[in-house]
């Protein structure tokens, strides 16, 4: 009899413990699973042009050689000087013997410059954006610094420091392998450029340039009519040297949303553009999905 009572008590105790035990739910899918884009480059980032939010990145704070993306800082300084009244788009820029010699170097991207002539700032900015003309960057740098291209590089570094960039500049054109900038800083510089001087997009979106009788095509394959056209792309700057590999800073807009993508040290041109397209797809999809969700939510208010 005593054994029967003990057994009943144990059974009641087990039932009580079972009722008190927390039920652990089955593991479900992550609400925000990590994204893997499978990029081929060594450094990359895509950000919201409105607020700088990062949507995806690969080694975003590691400095890499930017090649001709260096010219973004050169042009930024030019536009800053225009805003401050030191220059205008019609200012006449002289050409030094050094810049003239660089302009006909077959190993560089260029338009030919004649040291007996002057060229407007507007002409040179167009040549920088469409042709990635190294000698135009040199001539602008010499004019603004009142000295050499190396003197202008010191001004570039002053701007980089004031903007809080992880960057170092050695020349105006990007030919030097001593230039360096992180993907994040490249994106932030471009974001600030577009925010302060939105008319730069009128230049970076050009696909053709008639430079004093000779027509040149753009180096940016993501613009309309080009081999790697990306819908909504309206700039920004490409780059290539042996040290840098294939690079691009690109921007695209969809409705009222804009993203900025940076690809650094891609192994070939095709993968450079493919990586940039993947990044911008990612950024724009996040922004448009948010817009859709916000629209649904507001409809219930």
Residues with Cβ within 8 Å of 180's Cβ and at least 6 positions away in sequence, in order, are 63, 64, 65, 66, 167, 168
Residues with Cβ within 8 Å of 116's Cβ and at least 6 positions away in sequence, in order, are none
Q: Are 44 and 58 in contact (CB under 8 A)?
A: yes
What does the pLDDT read at residue 35? 80
- 66 belongs to a structural domain: yes
Residues with Cβ within 8 Å of 65's Cβ and at least 6 positions away in sequence, in order, are 177, 179, 180, 241, 243, 244, 245, 264, 265
Domain around 179: 38-291
- 268 belongs to a structural domain: yes
Q: Which residues pair with 86 in a beta bridge?
A: none
Structural domain total, the chain: 1
- 7 belongs to a structural domain: no
- 169 belongs to a structural domain: yes
- 14 belongs to a structural domain: no
Share of the chain above pLDDT 70, in %: 85
**What pLDDT band is residue 294 in, cutting at 50, 70 and 90?**
low
- 299 belongs to a structural domain: no
- 28 belongs to a structural domain: no
**What pLDDT band is residue 290 in, cutting at 50, 70 and 90?**
confident
Specify the CATH number for the domain of residue 112.
3.40.710.10
Give residue-wise pLDDT tens across range 167-223.
999 999 999 999 999 999 999 999 999 999 999 999 999 999 999 999 999 999 999
- 297 belongs to a structural domain: no
Give the pair of three-digit tokens for residue 162. Answer: 């004031």
């Amino acid at each position: 009899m005593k054994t029967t009572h003990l057994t009943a008590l144990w059974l009641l105790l087990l039932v009580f413990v079972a009722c008190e035990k927390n039920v652990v739910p089955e593991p479900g899918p992550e609400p925000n699973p990590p994204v893997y884009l499978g990029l081929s480059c060594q450094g990359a980032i895509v950000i919201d042009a409105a607020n700088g939010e990062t949507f995806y990145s690969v080694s975003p704070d590691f400095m890499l050689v930017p090649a001709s993306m260096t010219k973004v800082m050169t042009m930024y300084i030019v536009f800053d000087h225009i805003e401050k009244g030191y220059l205008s788009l019609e200012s006449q820029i002289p050409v030094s013997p050094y810049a003239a010699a660089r302009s006909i170097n077959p190993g560089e991207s260029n338009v030919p410059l004649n040291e007996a002539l002057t060229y407007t700032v507007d002409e040179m900015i167009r040549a920088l954006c469409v042709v990635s003309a190294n000698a135009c960057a040199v001539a602008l740098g010499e004019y603004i610094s009142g000295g050499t291209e190396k003197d202008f590089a010191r001004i570039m570094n002053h701007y980089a420091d004031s903007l809080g960039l992880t960057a170092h500049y050695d020349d105006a054109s990007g030919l030097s392998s001593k230039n360096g900038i992180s993907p994040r800083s490249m994106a932030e510089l471009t974001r600030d450029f577009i925010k302060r001087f939105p008319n730069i997009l009128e230049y970076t979106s050009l696909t053709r340039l008639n430079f004093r009788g000779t027509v040149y095509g753009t180096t940016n394959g993501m613009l309309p009519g080009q081999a790697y056209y990306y819908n909504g792309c309206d700039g920004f700057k490409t780059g290539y040297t042996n040290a840098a590999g294939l690079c691009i800073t690109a921007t695209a807009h969809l409705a009222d949303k804009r993203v900025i993508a940076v690809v650094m040290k891609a192994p070939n041109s095709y993968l450079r553009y493919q990586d940039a397209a993947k990044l911008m797809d990612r950024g724009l999809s996040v922004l448009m999905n948010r817009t859709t969700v916000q629209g649904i939510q507001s409809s219930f208010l």
